[in-house]
Structure formats: C-alpha cells, structure tokens
Structure 1
Amino acid sequence: MKKVVIIGGGLGGLAAAIPLAHAGFDVTLFEQNDHFGGKLMPVKLGDHHFDFGPNTITMPQVFKGVFEGVGERAEDYIRLIKLDTHTRNHFPDGTAIDFLSDPEAMRKQLQTHAPADAERYDAFIKEITRLYGLSETYFFPTVFQSWRDYVSPSLGRAMLQVRPLQTMHSFFGKYFRDPHMRQALDRYATYVGSSPYKAPATFAMIAYLELVQGVYYAEKGNITIAEGFAAVARKKGAVLRHSTAVKRITVNEGKTEGVELADGTTVEADIVILNGDLLSTFPALVDARHRPSFTDAKASSYEPSISAFVVTAGLNTRLDALRHHNVFFSGDYAQEFEDLFQHRRYSEEPTIYISNSSYTDPNVSPTGDNLFILANAPALTPEGKLQLEPEAYKERLYDLLETYGIDIRSHLVEEAIFTPAFIKDHFHAYRGALYGPSSHRKKDAFLRPGNAAKDIRDLYFTGGSTHPGGGSPMVVMSGQNLARRIIAETK
C-alpha cells in the first residue's frame, strides 16, 4: 500500500484524498489552519454565519461527483439549492439588471432594457456553450505533468478554437451594445482574478456556467461542501490532521521522501501532493537546489491575480433591496482595473460585491442579514505592503453603498475586516492573490504550472495556481484529475 501525504486541506487536497483513500492508498492530510476547505472558511460573528469564500457555486456536478465517484450519495452530505434569480447588478444611474439562469427569462428582460441586445442573446448563448464544450472536453480533464501533455494535436486545435487572441471585453461587445450589460458580463474576468480588458475571451465560458447551468448555494453555508468532503475522506480511511503545519518537503536524489512537520516530526511518504499556492508554498517548502526548473526568480516573475478587501457585517434587520448576490458597479470600470493592475492601488470608486446568503437561508443568520462585502484589491507589493488604512477603506465602501440606498451603519451589530495581508498569512497565498497568477499573459491563461514537479519524482501539485486554474470547481477538478492519474499510473 503506497503512502500519500497531502499538504493542505483545501478543496483540491480533499478532492484528491477521497479517491486515493478509496483506491486503497494510505492517505494522510495535513492542514495548518483549524478548518478544512482552505479559503472556504467559516466566519462567525455572534449569531451571524458567513462563508469567507467562495460564495458563488457553479458546476454542481463537479462537487456531487466527488461523493458519487466513491459510491456515496451527495445528498447525504450536501444540499445544493439552485438560485434562479441569482445576481442583481446595480449601476450608478439607477439601472438594475438581474442575472437569471433561464435564457428565455433573460431574453425577455433584455427586450425591455436593450431590445437590440435581446435579438443577439441566442447567438451569445450558442457561442459560450461552444466555448464551454471545448473546455470541458479538452482542458478540464487533463493533468499536465510534462511538455508532452501540452503538444497533443487535439489540444492544440481546441486552443485555437476558444478565442485565445480576443479579450473578454471585446467578445462581450460583439453581442451587447448596452454598456450596463457589457459591464456586468465583464465582471466574470474577476472570477479568474483578472481584467476583462486583458484576459482572453476563452473565459467568457464562465457566463455559460451562471446563465445556463445556474448558480447554487449549499444549505447551511457553502462550508458544508468542505465538511462533507472531509467526512467522506475519513470514511474512506484518510487521516486528516488540522492545526498541523508542514515545515518542509524532504527530497533525496531527486525524489520526495515525505515531509517534516513544524514540530520536527518526520513523516515518510511514497507520494507527496502539495495543495496550496504553488508560487509561495513550493519555494517555501523545498530548498532551491532541488527545484532548478522552478527558481525563486521564476516564481516571482508571475503577475499575481487580484486580491480582495472583505468586510463581514452582521445586521439587526433584513434589507429589502438586497438579494442573495448583489453587485454595485463603479462608474468607470476600465479605470478600476487600471488602478488594480497597472498602478497597483486601491480604486477610489470600486465595484462592490455583497453576498447575503440569509436571503436564501435565514437560519444562517436568524436576526438579520449576514453581508459578505467584497471589493477587488491589488495584490500586496513584493515587500508585503498593504497600501491603505483598512478602517478608512471600510468606511469608503459604506459611503459608496449609501449612494445606492444600502445603509449598513444604522443596522450594524458586528463586523470584521479581512485584507490581502490576511489572505497571504492564513492561506500562504502569493502576495495575497486569490487565484495565483493572473490570466493576462497567454501562457499564464493556457499554460499554467503543471501538476507534477519537473525536478522531483513523486511530488505533485493541485489547487488554483496550477491546471486547470482558479475557482472552486476547477480546484476540485484539479484534485480529482490528479488522483485518477496517480491511481492509473500505480496499477
């Protein structure tokens, strides 16, 4: 029985642990924090419960497949609720557009708001469906371990068909002339931590996930997904240890031998899986002499994705103007992304996202709304500087929300602030970035770091900074794909 050590109990690590344990591997997972799920972290303020992230769940089949792949019933662990009217988009001029998972309902809404765009909606849906289909067939199932995995003729043909040279902003502009609709769709670039003015149109497929497949929420909080994964992993025989940090990965003659824990304990392993931000954790855990193909300079050469400035606010009432997902857009979206990526500074007029899961599930916050308030933030400087005063920026967000009629201060019971520095420290995220590398450069969008170490045998990677990319479904796929590959190669 081969022994596998997994470093990091995020969704990718858990998703790998389950099939490996089910297949008979001796699996031990170490997580430094006191919860499993990585950034999918529970936050509790009084009787207000929050998911730190992700708040938007798409591709439910991916999460259910983790349970069903090892003979379990997903509904025994999680209950995913479809949100038909899932996101209300607000604009400075008072316009509001609802994003719906029913294409016919969306088309009818557009007929009132922008009739010309309504006529192109079917063509838009057809094209994003095609983009998604290519990704699902050629990109999602693949584990990239060496350059040979990138030169498949079928993969090459697929890459040329997913609009790699067009930006998301340009792509959406082909179908929509209404500036509000374009801005709302442009926001999908932030799902991969990037700018719509630079990220390739390939990622327009995210619109398919929300506008066709739909948006979901896990009853009692999305954290139940991680809790369900952990429960099944233990049931299948995996040992999960939280509050246990790994100090280094031990390497001898080009092969991993296991790990050394922070308390000095050594744990031997035939295979080590690193589930974490590759750009920060790989250099931190492996001495430079063992990884000549991934030097410190190479790690620092990647452009980081955006980070987040988050306020969790528990209210003593329910605000009628809010839905489950709410976006309050800035008046100059292009300037906001220029601030974030070119100037590396916080926007004075940021777009603000609010998740209010108590709208759907009052039990998670019985006495009032549980508002997860997020503004896009630049990654930390290379020196780790924050570049703002958190309390002042929080007040700025509250001021901007008041211009939309959302009064936080009058109803506030408890609040907490989370900055990019928190994300860096608690999740070992590269410069506090949410998604590892941005997807602005073509090689970072399509050729993300592979899932196996080039210089160290039996050391593998999973998580949002590796293939197939960021976002909770992709991270789960990353862990599942890697586990299947290991199982197949070990037979």
Structure 2
Amino acid sequence: MADVARVAVVGAGPGGLAAAARLAAQGHAVTVLEQSQQVGGKLGLLTVEGHAFDTGPSLVTLPQVYRDLFAATGGPLEESLDLVRLDPAVAYRFADGTRLTFPGSPAAVPAALDAALGAGAGAQWAALMSRAEHMWRISEGPFLRTPLAGAATLARLARRPADVATIAPWTSLRGLGERYLRDPRLRMLLDRYATYSGSDPRKAPGVLATVAHAEQAYGSWYVRGGLHRLALAVAERAAERGAVLRTGCAVRRVVVTGGRGAGVELADGEVVPADVVVSDADAAALYADLLPPDLSAAPRRALGRATPSLSGFVLLLGLRGRTPDLAHHTVLFPADYDAEFDAVFGTGRHRGAPQPVADPTVYVSAPDDPALRPDDDSESWFVLVNAPRHEPGRGVDWDEPGLAERYADSVLQVMADRGLDVRDRVRVRVVRTPADLERDTGSVGGSIYGTSSNGARAAFLRPANASPVPGLFLVGGSAHPGGGLPLVTLSAEIVARLVGPA
C-alpha cells in the first residue's frame, strides 16, 4: 500500500497494540478504539488494598518476538521494560507427593528430572525435546510467521516428506508423549502444554510439543512491576509513533462500503472512517455481531466446526506473611488429569455436560515483586484453574447465584489438600469467572484463546488474518497463528506485513 492509510484498530489488547505500533511506525494514521477504560485486554491489572495483580498472562516466552517488535518501532525493548529470566521456571507437585523444580537453564533439566522422577527420566525428556526442536525449525517460519492460506500452508510444510514425518500431524500431543515418555508424570508435564492453547492433549496435535521446547530453550521471563507493563510499553510506543488511543469507546459494527471495510461505528453512533480496519476483538464476536451476516457466513461456519478453547477460573489472593521456598510459578497436579479435560470440554465421563472440575490442576503465580504487594510481609497471588466456558442453558452458567464463591472455596480446599493451605492468611480475595472474562474482554463464553487446537484440522479452522472482507484484518489470540503473548504479537507482525508501509 503506497499511500498513507487511515487505520482503525478495534481493541487495545496485546495484538491490537502491537499492530497499532507497527502500522504507525510504517507511516499510517492509526486510531485504537478500546471499550474499557484501560489498555491491555486480557493483559490487565487490578489493584485492591495495596495488592496488585496481573489478571492474565503471568510470564513472557519467546522474548525475541518482543525485541523484534520494539526494534521495528523505535528503541530496543530493554529501554522500556525490565525483563527478568526466571530460574527456576516452575515448581511441580504431583498427586503422589513428588516434587520437581524445573530449572531455568536447559542444561540442568535432565539431571533435575532424574533426581525427582528417577534415572532415565532426563534422557526421555531430552529425546522428546530434540524431536520438538526439529518440529520448531520446520514449522516456525512457514506457519507461525506467515498468513494462513489453507492448502498452500500445508504445501509449505510439506516441501520434504521427512518434514511431514517429523511434524506428524496425525499424532496427538498425548500420543507423542506416550511414544517418548515412560513415566506418567513426565507425560503429565507434556500434556500441560496443550492448555497453553486452551486444548485437550488427547486431541491437540503433537506439534504443540514445540511450546515446551520454546519455553525451555528461550526461557520464561517476567516483567518487573507486572506483565501489564508490557501492554503499557507497547501502547506508549504506538503513541510515540503517532497512533491515537481512545478508551471507553465500544465498537458497535464494522462499516462496510462497496464491499470493503471503511471504518467502524461506535456505540454512541460516531463513525470513525478508515481505509483499513484491524480487529483485535474475539473473532467469534466479530463475525457474529460486528459484520453483516452475508459477509461473515463462511468464517462463522468454520468457527462452528471448531471446538472453543477452555476458559479459566481465577482467584486473586492478597496474603498476609510470606511463603518460604516458593517458586514464581507452582503447578499442583491432580491424580486424574483426564477427568479434568472431560469436565472442561464435556467429553468422556462428562459427555455433553461440561462442569467445574472437582479436582483441578491448580496454577499459582506468585511473583516476588515489591511493586505488587503493600509491604514486605505480604504476597499477591494469581491462582488459575482450567474451567469450562460460560454457556448458560447449554453448559455451565457461571453467573448462577453462589456458584463462584462455592467453587472458590473448593479450589482453596484443593490447594490445602496438596500442601499449600493459605486460607488463614487471606486478606484480599477476588473471584473472576469465565463470565467475568467474557464481560471484561468480549471473549465469547470467556474462551481464552478463541478456538482450541483440538483435532488435526483445528489450525486451519482458526480465522485467518486477512478476512473475507477486503480491508478488514484480524489480530489477537482468536486469529492465526493462535493464543499466547508471542503468537498474538506475531499476528500483528503478519497483519502489518499484509497492509504494507505507507
């Protein structure tokens, strides 16, 4: 595109902000329209009685993606943020009492696995990670950094039969784990990476092992002061490049004139004209609510064939006192992981009837960061369990009176049963359900990642970055290449490339 384009970005989540920064740096006139009063979307911040909580992602992976973003739009990342590599990355506790502290240094991982799980565990994991590294090298460029193009995307991946054999698109993540990992606890570690895309490891593709490889090879990172500062830094960079950020501006519809995107209409009736519209809204909401039905039929059919991603039930806990030897991230595994996925997705023993997980995996993020607590004798915890999305009448109605508080009590009891009892230390307790996530971010049902990766064809049912409407593009976790901060940021890179410089 040779001329300066007026660009309207719908939503100031991480994808929308990254797209705004890149497009503004490319010389376009960018306006970002955000329905809430603060930027960040799921990368939010809540402060209660001196306790500050990130309300979304709790770590940064693939930091090079952000370094690329900041380098392309101005000064280096390190001038805007204090990024700290976590070591240890995470501490795991299994139902049989086994504890495993996962080192931040890849070289130390095999020995740590042998020490915790027995001789041979490290070699099994190393063999799997070698396969995952090969998968990563094959798939990163043609898939993660390139627009989705159906059969053409498959053709890029299939340049060599050996590459197809390595990716093994017919193999699930669970199946891949069973091939390499004899210890069921190791397989549980691998299964967890399916949840990074809101998916079921029994149905998600084995290529998701690349997530484990990337996290181990490139590290898990924390932004000092909280991850919300990442959103603020990208917003500031976009503004420095000339983008206008407007909060409290809900978008009612995308204006289509002459068959192409021509701007957006706000809830108050104001029309913001544009030559290009970039939507960071949930793709399901975009195609169901913001476009005329005749222009969105095909994407809605594709979304209807995909399984929505899981959601999350969150406790934000302000605690008195300090917990000795607590890692930045702690994962408390249940005895029966399959029961969790059956409950969340309404499959197996819970077929057709998703429900809150009785004995869930519990994720605790407890940053040792003075900026997030009122004093040195306190902690601010983000506690997450996988949950079915909000679906009144068909699934779980998270607005049912009393359900959220009862389930919060249940999660605290599960934590206590697994050796992390903090009930007598709680001075702040905030409950956030999938229904709250839907209201706060516009994610349909509170599905964190839009659609899941359940099924070999799932990636090709995910909405493409270039919509069927010329001039309308999609970024964010519900669009290609998927959810999670790195992929969301890559979606913005893809769209900026599609739009081109002024």
Q: 1:19 to 1:230 in 2, by over 3 A?
A: same
Q: Distance in 1 between matches of 2:393 and 2:245?
A: 34
2:364 maps to 354
After TM superposition, give the deviation of residue 267 of structure 1 in Å: 1.1
2:258 maps to 253
1:139 maps to 143
Q: Distance in 2 between matches of 1:173 and 1:150?
A: 28
After TM superposition, give the deviation of residue 13 of structure 1 in Å: 0.8
Q: How does 1:73-472 map to 2 (within 5 A)?
A: 73-112=76-115, 113-144=117-148, 147=150, 149-150=152-153, 152-154=155-157, 157=160, 158=163, 161-295=166-300, 298-341=302-345, 342=347, 343=350, 344-357=354-367, 359=368, 361-367=369-375, 368-381=378-391, 383=393, 385-386=396-397, 389-454=403-468, 456-472=469-485
After TM superposition, give the deviation of residue 395 of structure 1 in Å: 0.5
Secondary structure of 1:69 counterpart: helix
After TM superposition, give the deviation of residue 407 of structure 1 in Å: 2.1
Assess if the C-alpha contact under 8 Å between 1:140 and 1:468 holds in 2. Answer: yes
Q: Distance in 2 between matches of 1:34 and 1:421?
A: 19
After TM superposition, give the deviation of residue 127 of structure 1 in Å: 1.2
TM-score by length of 1: 0.94
Assess if the C-alpha contact under 8 Å between 1:7 and 1:30 holds in 2. Answer: yes
**4+ aligned runs moved over 4 Å, structure 1:** 146-149, 153-160, 382-385
Assess if the C-alpha contact under 8 Å between 1:4 and 1:27 holds in 2. Answer: yes
Tell me whether 102-111 or 329-338 shows the greater mean CA deviation: 102-111
Equivalenced residue count is 484
Secondary structure of 1:402 counterpart: helix
Q: Distance in 2 between matches of 1:482 and 1:425?
A: 27
Superposed CA deviations along residues 435-465 of structure 1, whole A, max 9, x for unmatched, are 11111122213452111121x2111111111
Q: 1:151 to 1:198 in 2, by over 3 A?
A: closer
Secondary structure of 1:442 counterpart: coil
After TM superposition, give the deviation of residue 381 of structure 1 in Å: 2.2
After TM superposition, give the deviation of residue 152 of structure 1 in Å: 3.8
Q: Distance in 2 between matches of 1:335 and 1:349?
A: 8
After TM superposition, give the deviation of residue 159 of structure 1 in Å: 5.4
Q: 1:256 to 1:303 in 2, by over 3 A?
A: same
Assess if the C-alpha contact under 8 Å between 1:101 and 1:213 holds in 2. Answer: no
Assess if the C-alpha contact under 8 Å between 2:150 and 2:460 holds in 1. Answer: no
2:490 maps to 477
After TM superposition, give the deviation of residue 43 of structure 1 in Å: 1.2
Q: 1:480 to 1:339 in 2, by over 3 A?
A: same
Tell me whether 303-312 or 95-104 shows the greater mean CA deviation: 95-104
TM-score by length of 2: 0.92
After TM superposition, give the deviation of residue 64 of structure 1 in Å: 1.8
Give the aligned CA root-mean-square deviation in angstroms: 1.8
Superposed CA deviations along residues 341-370 of structure 1, whole A, max 9, x for unmatched, are 11311111011100001x2x2332143111
One-letter amino acid matched to 1:97: L
| Percent identity between the two aligned chains | 34
Assess if the C-alpha contact under 8 Å between 1:101 and 1:212 holds in 2. Answer: no
Assess if the C-alpha contact under 8 Å between 1:380 and 1:386 holds in 2. Answer: yes
Assess if the C-alpha contact under 8 Å between 2:125 and 2:186 holds in 1. Answer: no
Superposed CA deviations along residues 312-341 of structure 1, whole A, max 9, x for unmatched, are 000011111521101111110011111111
One-letter amino acid matched to 1:444: A
After TM superposition, give the deviation of residue 84 of structure 1 in Å: 1.8
Superposed CA deviations along residues 291-311 of structure 1, whole A, max 9, x for unmatched, are 33234x554443111000001
User: What are structure 2's unaligned runs of at least 5 residues?
Assistant: none
After TM superposition, give the deviation of residue 138 of structure 1 in Å: 1.5
Q: 1:155 to 1:53 in 2, by over 3 A?
A: farther
Q: Distance in 1 between matches of 2:328 and 2:68?
A: 25
One-letter amino acid matched to 1:405: G
1:13 maps to 16
After TM superposition, give the deviation of residue 189 of structure 1 in Å: 0.6
Q: Distance in 2 between matches of 1:434 and 1:318?
A: 31
Secondary structure of 1:291 counterpart: helix
Assess if the C-alpha contact under 8 Å between 1:51 and 1:221 holds in 2. Answer: yes
Assess if the C-alpha contact under 8 Å between 1:131 and 1:202 holds in 2. Answer: yes
Tell me whether 240-249 or 179-188 shows the greater mean CA deviation: 179-188
